[in-house]
């Protein structure tokens, strides 16, 4: 029998619900694996072993006194949350040295949703400061590294969670995606990552997100595991059951157009083009009809998106005496956000609503849109900040101050993600290519499929039909 961390989440769930594996056995196994692997990977900021075992014992007691049919959907499943999300009794660092690190009193709605579903919480995973970047590096803990190549980044902002899933420290994990923060690390770590459409998962909405960009979504090794998590995130939609049906024959538009091109002209690496070609081949072999789609984006988008994206960090409660502890990018964009007038933010939000209308109308000519997930292979740790991090020690104060160069690199790395959040559309990334030639060898590269509102089940069906 395979070890527990090698099993799909769906299989592990079945073993837990049947009593073949106890919640304590599962928690103990994943905690031991985390203790062994995390010093290299930096996937977890905080491991809550005592709390996890207490919850696991309670789950086993519940199993002993409950009919199997009445067990919660994720009875005894080990899970962890990115360290932007409050878990009662645990510190939420937000990846920042500028905040006081005190345990929070109550669970966030997202955590409460999963606890109601029966999970055992193992800890908090690594994030960039306030979730702002496409890499999970900060000043308070070692960087999150890619399990397939530890010198490379696991992406961001759900990078710690993605690294944990890819390395078998977790069976699957929820991420949150406000500009690519599920899809970017999923692609970097060779996972399936689904960003649901706006408004579907109400537990993950935030008052500090004026453009309503951020949504929770699953990071998983298979579409079945992603569907299982979606059945918790959005009850009543029967995503797992939907996978029993094949998707219809679809018209899929292929594009490399990006709303960032005019501001940050970028070059698509050959590996990304190879992944796109691999995706086209798979989809055509599955019976879908593909064609080139030319999408026209308004060149005012980058400024408007950046204004909306950084509004939250501008409003964050940070003591003036601790502002100097912010990373250069955070400090720069916080200052700019605070200097903008409310009218400037309102203007940006109005533009993004019009951008959404115009873009969705163009996408609607096709059933799905297809593009690479990332324009480049997973970047080296320290590449965005211009810092070398070959050792396990994370430097506290030696980051260069080139915030604009850092931001430009991120936009060139992931030029096809943020506009999907602005449009509020569902999207999925699939690991269709490995640079070593076979699955699990070399670096993973993904494709992104974007669908209309309400197409989460369709995207999962397509992924499952393609073998993911």
pLDDT tens, position by position, 102-144: 999 999 999 999 999 999 999 999 999 999 999 999 999 999 9
Count of C-beta atoms within a 10 Å radius of residue 270: 10
Which residue is listed with tokens 């101050």?
401
> Does a structural domain hold residue 270?
yes
First to last CA, the chain: 22
If you average pLDDT over every residue of the chain, what do you get? 95
> Does a structural domain hold residue 230?
yes
Alpha carbons 173 and 181: distance in angstroms, whole number: 13
- Residue 391 pLDDT exceeds 60: no
Phi, psi angle pair for 443, to nearest 5°: -105, 140
Average pLDDT over residues 354-362: 98
Element of type H or E holding 175:
strand 173-177
Alpha carbons 24 and 12: distance in angstroms, whole number: 13
Environment class of residue 65 by beta-carbon count within 10 Å: exposed (0-12), middle (13-18) or buried (19+)?
exposed
- Residue 347 pLDDT exceeds 70: yes
pLDDT tens, position by position, 241-282: 999 999 999 999 999 999 999 999 999 999 999 999 999 999
- Residue 220 pLDDT exceeds 50: yes
Range list of H helices, 106-235: 109-116, 159-166, 183-189, 223-233
In whole angstroms, what separates CA 65 from the centre of its chain? 36
Cα dist from 381 to 11, 48, 136, 145, 193, whole Å: 34, 26, 9, 7, 21
Confidence category of residue 464, pLDDT binned at 50, 70, 90? very high
Alpha carbons 281 and 273: distance in angstroms, whole number: 12
Q: Which 3 state secondary structure label does DSSP give 176?
A: strand
Give me the DSSP letters along 328-355: HHHHHHHHHHHHS-HHHHHHHHHHHHHH
* Annotated catalytic residue 96: no
Average pLDDT over residues 406-412: 97
Q: Which of 144, 157, 158, 417 is the catalytic position?
A: 157
Cα dist from 186 to 161, 284, 417, whole Å: 9, 24, 12
Strand arrangement of the beta sheet that strand 192-195 belongs to: 173-177, 215-220, 192-195, 427-434, 444-450, 368-372, 251-254, 289-292
Per the structure, the complete domain to which residue 135 belongs is given by 126-465
* Annotated catalytic residue 181: yes
pLDDT at 365: 98
> Does a structural domain hold residue 38?
no
CB 378 within 8 A of CB 341: no
Give me the DSSP letters along 41-80: H--EEEE-HHHHHHHHHHHHHHHHHS-GGGS-TTTT-EEE
Q: Which 3 state secondary structure label does DSSP give 101?
A: coil
> Does a structural domain hold residue 421?
yes
Choose the weakest-confidence range: 31-35, 293-297, 314-318, 462-466: 314-318
Q: Which of 82, 124, 195, 224 is the catalytic position?
A: 82
The CATH number of whichever domain residue 419 belongs to comes to 3.90.1300.10
> Does a structural domain hold residue 44?
no
pLDDT at 397: 53
> Does a structural domain hold residue 315?
yes
Number of domains in the chain: 1
- Residue 390 pLDDT exceeds 70: no
pLDDT at 205: 78
Residue percentage of the chain with pLDDT more than 90: 93
> Does a structural domain hold residue 213?
yes
> Does a structural domain hold residue 310?
yes
Q: Which of 154, 181, 223, 455 is the catalytic position?
A: 181
* Annotated catalytic residue 262: no
- Residue 201 pLDDT exceeds 90: yes
Closest C-alpha among 284, 291, 279 to residue 446: 279
CB 204 within 8 A of CB 111: no
């Amino acid at each position: 029998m395979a070890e527990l961390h090698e099993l799909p989440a769906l299989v592990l769930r079945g073993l837990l619900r049947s009593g073949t594996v106890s919640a304590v056995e599962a928690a103990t196994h994943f905690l031991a694996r985390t203790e062994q692997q995390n010093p290299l990977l930096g996937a977890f900021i905080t491991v809550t072993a005592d709390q996890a075992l207490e919850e696991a014992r309670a789950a086993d007691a519940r199993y002993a006194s409950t009919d199997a049919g009445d067990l919660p959907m994720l009875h005894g499943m080990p899970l962890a949350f990115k360290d932007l999300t409050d878990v009662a009794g645990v510190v939420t660092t937000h990846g920042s040295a500028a905040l006081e690190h005190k345990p929070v009193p109550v669970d966030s709605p997202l955590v409460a949703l999963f606890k109601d579903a029966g999970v055992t919480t193992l800890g908090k995973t690594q994030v960039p400061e306030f979730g702002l970047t496409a890499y999970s590096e900060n000043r308070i803990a070692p960087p999150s590294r890619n399990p397939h190549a530890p010198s490379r980044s696991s992406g961001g902002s759900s990078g710690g969670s993605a690294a944990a899933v890819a390395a078998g420290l977790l069976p699957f994990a929820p991420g949150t995606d406000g500009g690519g923060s599920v899809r970017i690390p999923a692609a970097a770590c060779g996972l399936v990552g689904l960003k649901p459409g706006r408004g579907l998962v109400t537990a993950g909405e935030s008052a500090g997100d004026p453009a309503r960009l951020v949504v929770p979504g699953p990071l998983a090794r298979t579409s079945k595991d992603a569907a299982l998590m979606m059945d918790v995130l959005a009850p009543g939609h029967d995503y797992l059951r939907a996978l029993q049906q094949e998707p219809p024959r679809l018209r899929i538009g292929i594009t490399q157009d990006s709303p960032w091109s005019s501001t940050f002209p970028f070059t698509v690496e050959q590996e990304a083009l190879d992944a796109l070609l691999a995706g086209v081949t798979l989809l055509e072999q599955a019976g879908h009809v593909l064609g080139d789609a030319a999408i026209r984006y308004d060149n005012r988008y980058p400024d408007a998106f950046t204004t909306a994206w950084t509004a939250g960090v501008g409003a964050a409660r940070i003591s003036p005496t601790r502002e100097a502890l912010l990373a250069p990018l955070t400090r720069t964009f916080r200052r700019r956000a605070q200097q903008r007038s409310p009218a400037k933010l309102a203007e940006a939000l109005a533009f993004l609503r019009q951008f959404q209308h115009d873009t969705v109308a163009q996408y609607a000519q096709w059933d799905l849109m297809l593009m690479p997930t990332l324009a480049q292979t997973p970047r080296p740790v320290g590449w965005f900040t211009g810092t070398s991090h070959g050792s396990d020690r994370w430097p506290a104060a030696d980051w260069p101050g080139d915030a604009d160069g850092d931001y430009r690199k991120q936009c060139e790395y992931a030029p096809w993600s943020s506009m999907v959040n602005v449009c509020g559309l569902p999207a999925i990334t699939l690991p269709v290519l490995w640079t070593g030639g076979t699955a699990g060898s070399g670096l993973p590269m993904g494709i992104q499929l974007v669908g209309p509102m309400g197409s989460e089940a369709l995207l999962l069906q397509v992924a499952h039909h393609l073998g993911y």
